[in-house]
Amino acid sequence: MVEVRFLIVYSKLTRMKSKAHLASHPLHPILVSFPIAFFTGAFVFDLFGVISNRPALSLVAYYLDIAGIIGALAAAVPGAIDYFMTIPPESSAKKRGTQHAIINLVNLGIFTYVWFYRRDASANPYLILGLEAIGVILLSIAGWMGGTLVHRNQIGIDHRYANAAKWNQEYINTEDKKIKVARVGEIKINAMKLMHINGKRIVIGNTEKGHVAFSDHCSHKGASLADGSMICGTVQCPWHGSQFDTNSGEVKAGPAKEKIDTYTLEESNGNIYLLL
């Protein structure tokens, strides 16, 4: 059988740490500040331009629109990278991230249209104000959701805990039912290794009583359990604190209600094999 493996080891990094960062600082939260400021500024200048009947203020808004569009496109690049490479699939964060992205794209479309429309000398300033007001509201909603992704779902956060092991994950595509997932001694006590096997995410952990294998998908909101912490045969979800028995998958503490899947491991000739 043909087996393809791809190994990634990040020193002391967590899975939900931003993949688009500069010296460990996520780029998306840094860059979004610019379109927020520019688009909001465009609305404010247009508003005061209409109130005071000063067309020059609307000219400032015109250039702020351009700056906001450029800033939004720049912020979208690291945002897309984190959406596809950082947020756990089939999770509440993925759903929230999708909504966040759609709202931002709609908002970008609104301000892009306003920029083109205002170039017409007969453009209605009240229509421009109305569209910009909608855009600012959408901008606020998207910003709220982005903050929730960071502070509640910990997307982009490099959180660590005492004696945390190196982040370790491996991708395998194979038709085999017995798959080598680690070497004996590779994973230290209370450490975990995330395996991506044919698209399925399975955590290999090492407890005081031996190695265990369980689903990476928290049954509550879909967080990555490999990004949490494990001690004494219990793994804790990093989002809401649900705890699961790593041997049986049973819930030891909520808010999760359903158990997680567990898998059988076999040790042979110094290697650890996953049986599917």
Residue 264 maps to which CATH number? 2.102.10.10
Residue 229 — φ and ψ, nearest 5°?
Answer: -130, 150
Q: What is the pLDDT of residue 228?
A: 85
Q: Does the residue 86 lie in any domain?
A: yes
Residues 95 and 128 in one domain: yes
In a domain, 2, yes or no: no
Domain for residue 159, yes or no? no
HSE-CB at 53 with a 13 A cutoff on CA atoms is: 0
Confidence (pLDDT) at 14: 42
Compute the CA torsion angle 108, 114, 115, 121 (nearest 10 deg): 170
Count CB-CB contacts under 10 A for residue 9: 11
Q: pLDDT tens digits for the chain (276 residues)?
A: 445 555 444 433 345 667 788 877 889 989 999 999 999 999 999 999 999 999 889 999 999 999 999 999 999 999 999 899 888 887 888 999 999 999 999 999 999 999 999 999 889 999 999 999 999 999 999 999 999 988 887 777 766 655 566 667 788 888 888 999 999 988 888 889 989 888 889 999 999 889 999 999 999 988 889 888 888 899 998 888 899 999 999 999 889 999 999 999 999 999 999 998
Give the count of domains, the chain: 2
Give the strand pairing for 167-173 and 192-197: parallel
| 157 inside domain | no
Q: Does residue 249 sit in the same domain as residue 213?
A: yes
Is residue 161 in some structural domain? Answer: no
- pTM beyond cutoff 0.85: no
What are the CA-CA distances from residue 92 to residues 54, 62, 119 (Å)? 47, 38, 41
β-partners of residue 215 are: 202
Parent domain of 123: 18-151
